[in-house]
Amino acid sequence: MHTSWLRRSGVTLLAGTVLVLLPALAWLQSSWLDQIATADRERRERTLQTAAAQLAGDLDGELSRAFAGLQVESATLEHRAWSTFAQRYSAWAASAANPAIVQSVHVIELSRAEGATPHRLTASLSLDRSRVSQWNAATASFEETAWPEHLAGLRGRMQEQTAHFKVEPGQRGGRFLAPPLSLGDERTLIAPIIDLGPPSADDPPNGVPEVRLLGFTVISLDLEVVRHEVLPALVRRHFSFADGGREYRVAVVQREHPDKIVYESEEGAARAAIAEPDASATLMAPRMRPTFFMQRGERRLEPPPLPPQVASATPDNVVISVLDARRGERAAGMHMRMIATDGHWRLVAKHRAGSLEAAVASTRTRNVGLSSGILLLLAAAIGLIVVSARRAHRLARQQMEFVAAVSHELRTPVSVIGAAAGNLADGVIGDPVRVKKYGATIQGEARRLAETVERVLQLAGIAAGRAGATSAPVAPSVLVAEALAACRPDLDASGMQLDVAIAPDLPLVVGDAPALKSALQNLLANALKYGRSGGWLRIAARATSGKRAVVEFIVEDRGPGVAAADRTHIFEPFYRGRDAVAQQIHGSGLGLNLVYRIAEAHGGSVSVSSEPGHGARFTLRLPAVQEVASSVSLQANGAPTLRSHSSP
């Protein structure tokens, strides 16, 4: 017992310590989950912005390669060296991700007013008499054609850009050139064709170089290819998981007219993402390098050192130096400042959960639920350990009490039998009346001893699963008669009034007849033991209607009844009511538990209803078959007869 107490105390102390630490662990988990959620949000934001930027970079980079690779150089235009452009076109097509993105390439050659000088171009250039040519890949040449319909709306803008082509004076003899560089519209890339040469012989050293605007290269894009081939491929590459699933709704709309949808990853993506996107990026804006090289004849161009005022300017500055290849020295230099342009399209992306914050919150909620579930399981496990330890301790105590009760139940009859038999054997008792009384005492104690042994054996058999092992149809009236016959001596000794009520034509019950008889006998013995003060005992059998046939055996008395606190435990093994313990009524606490187990083994049930001071009523319910048993009646001594009779 001391070891058991120490073990129980250790389990209780461990459980208490864990339960005290659980709130601290919960607080730490909450703090960790907040940190994880913050890191997850930052990671998702970086990943999403990177994906949007990479998609924009891939598309605009493709446009930039087309812009740079398909420009017509001034020497190519002046000498009609179409084979040179054919090589450039082939090189671009071989390196392009999707050459079908370019629908056509046009060259617009400007006409110059008579008497115009290279340095005064603003009023001398006009598109009115310009010549338009289209590249024909089959003939590898530019062929003259009329103004394309899709370029008709750009003539005014191109004329305006031509007017901005000028040479601006700079510091220390340098010059700044501001050429037009614009997309024109979402379908068109426009590049100026500029010819640069060294100053004339009459100009001073490092003078202003000769500058001529010869025309424009117009690159027309196939927007259907961009919409149905290029954009879906880029979205799959940058916004898809490895298993093909997508976490974001992605759309591309016109920047100045968001209601005009260019592309949607799924229907409704633009409407869901345009108002408050999780990420956005500008598309359709060629990204030029900070240095731009051109070549014409024997002259070559390379960048001179940037002056301080230019070096701190925007990265759109393009540095050009004109060299005289025959003299091997720089003849003149200037810096071109490209006109910055905004993209025509806008990429928007939004998480499927409604927003990135909602997705992070959902993940955090799921993590909180998971961690809380683990903590609850831990707490429940600790609680179960404590409950199991207490139940094990209570069961051990009950088993000890059972051993003590059984030992008393066995020792008392053995002692009485031994003493009475010794007196008879020694001749102490010679009176025939007393000898008969001694014999009756020995017989009663022997029966009591046999009942105790039988209950222990039944308990062992039920624990081994042998209850109801042999099943056969049994008449309910026979079970009642045999149980009453077994309890007849105690009934006679109690002086209680007995009422027997067996309904006629009861169906048979199927089961182990000795076990069922023992269950009824235990109910009768329990009523005789605890309800004797009421002076009345009743046993009844009746059939009930329902989904299946059931026979009810009812044993009731008018004794003190069962307390409410005891009714919930009365069928537990080794349990004895408080009043029984206080009044020192002999018993082991096994009788009603045996009834419960026998009923359960036969697919039935047992219940108790009682009010303190008004007796107790036990009901044993057993499943029955449709076959009707022969009616029997009970004699006064409880033995069955062949007469049909039922006591009211």
What is the secondary structure of 10-31 as a DSSP string? Answer: HHHHHHHHHHHHHHHHHHHHHH
What radius of gyration do the chain's Cα atoms show? 54
- The alpha carbon dihedral of 262, 267, 270, 273 has a sign of negative
- Model confidence over 446-490: pLDDT tens digits? 877 777 777 677 666 666 665 555 678 889 999 999 999 888 888
CA distance 61 to 90: 18
Span 210-217, average pLDDT: 78
Domain presence at residue 411: no
How many CB atoms lie under 10 A from the CB of residue 293?
12
Contacts of 73 (CB under 8 A, 6+ apart): 84, 193, 294, 295, 296
Span 17-33, average pLDDT: 76
Return the residue matching tokens 């590049």: 191
Q: Which tokens go with 111?
A: 């006409």
Of 376 and 140, the structure prediction assigns the larger pLDDT to 140
The predicted structure's pLDDT at residue 205: 54
Query: Which one, of 481, 476, 490, lies nearest residue 634 by Cα?
Result: 481
Q: Would you say residue 98 has pLDDT above 80?
A: yes
The answer to whether residues 198 and 324 touch, using CB atoms and an 8 Å cutoff, is: yes
Q: Of the candidates 333, 351, 369, which is a domain's last residue?
A: 351
Q: Would you say residue 252 has pLDDT above 90?
A: yes
- Model confidence over 110-167: pLDDT tens digits? 875 544 444 444 444 566 678 899 999 999 999 999 888 877 777 777 776 666 555 5
pLDDT band at 174 (very low <50, low <70, confident <90, very high): very low
The predicted structure's pLDDT at residue 552: 92
Return the residue matching tokens 């701190």: 312
Q: Which tokens go with 321?
A: 């130096």
CA max distance for the chain: 170
Which range scores top for mean pLDDT: 21-25, 185-189, 410-414, 534-538?
534-538
In this structure, what CATH number is given to the domain that contains residue 621? 3.30.565.10
Q: Which tokens go with 105?
A: 């390439």
Q: How many helices (H) and strands (E) does the chain have?
A: 16, 25
Of 33 and 136, the structure prediction assigns the larger pLDDT to 136
Which domain range does residue 545 map to? 467-641
The predicted structure's pLDDT at residue 14: 65
Q: Which helix (DSSP H) or strand (DSSP E) does residue 168 occupy? A: strand 166-169
Span 549-566, average pLDDT: 88
Domain presence at residue 503: yes
When divided into structural domains, the chain yields a total of: 2
Calculate ∠ Cα 300-304-307, nearest 5°: 150
- Model confidence over 316-341: pLDDT tens digits? 444 444 444 444 444 444 444 444 45
The predicted structure's pLDDT at residue 581: 60
Q: Of the candidates 298, 319, 351, which is a domain's last residue?
A: 351
Mean pLDDT of the chain: 75
Query: Which one, of 322, 321, 284, 280, lies nearest residue 303 by Cα?
Result: 321
Q: Of the candidates 314, 335, 351, which is a domain's last residue?
A: 351
The predicted structure's pLDDT at residue 115: 41
Domain presence at residue 397: no
Name which of 307-321, 334-348, 417-431, 544-558 the model is least confident about: 307-321
The predicted structure's pLDDT at residue 116: 44
The predicted structure's pLDDT at residue 348: 92
CA distance 644 to 624: 20
Name which of 165-169, 428-432, 589-593, 624-628 the model is least confident about: 165-169
Shared-domain flag, residues 492 and 627: yes
Percentage with pLDDT > 70 across the chain: 69
What is the secondary structure of 524-583 as a DSSP string? Answer: HHHHHHHSGGGTEEEEEEEEE-SSS-EEEEEEEE-SS---HHHHTTTTSTT---HHHHHT
The answer to whether residues 377 and 568 touch, using CB atoms and an 8 Å cutoff, is: no
The predicted structure's pLDDT at residue 390: 77
Q: Would you say residue 276 has pLDDT above 60?
A: yes
pTM exceeds cut of 0.75: no
Of 123 and 570, the structure prediction assigns the larger pLDDT to 570
Span 86-101, average pLDDT: 92
- Model confidence over 485-544: pLDDT tens digits? 888 888 888 888 999 999 988 899 988 888 888 889 889 988 888 888 888 999 999 998
Contacts of 413 (CB under 8 A, 6+ apart): 445, 446, 448, 449, 452
Q: Would you say residue 617 has pLDDT above 60?
A: yes
Domain presence at residue 378: no
Which range scores top for mean pLDDT: 4-18, 135-149, 275-289, 405-419?
135-149
Name which of 58-62, 370-374, 587-591 the model is least confident about: 587-591
Domain presence at residue 41: no
Domain presence at residue 394: no
The answer to whether residues 555 and 522 touch, using CB atoms and an 8 Å cutoff, is: no
Domain presence at residue 379: no
What are the CA-CA distances from residue 398 to residues 574, 576, 587 (Å)?
A: 6, 10, 13
Q: Three-state SS for 248?
A: strand
Span 193-207, average pLDDT: 63
Contacts of 299 (CB under 8 A, 6+ apart): 196, 197, 198, 322, 323, 324, 325
Domain presence at residue 85: yes
What are the CA-CA distances from residue 61 to residues 49, 181, 283, 495 (Å)?
A: 17, 16, 10, 111
Q: Three-state SS for 298?
A: coil
Return the residue matching tokens 């099943």: 471
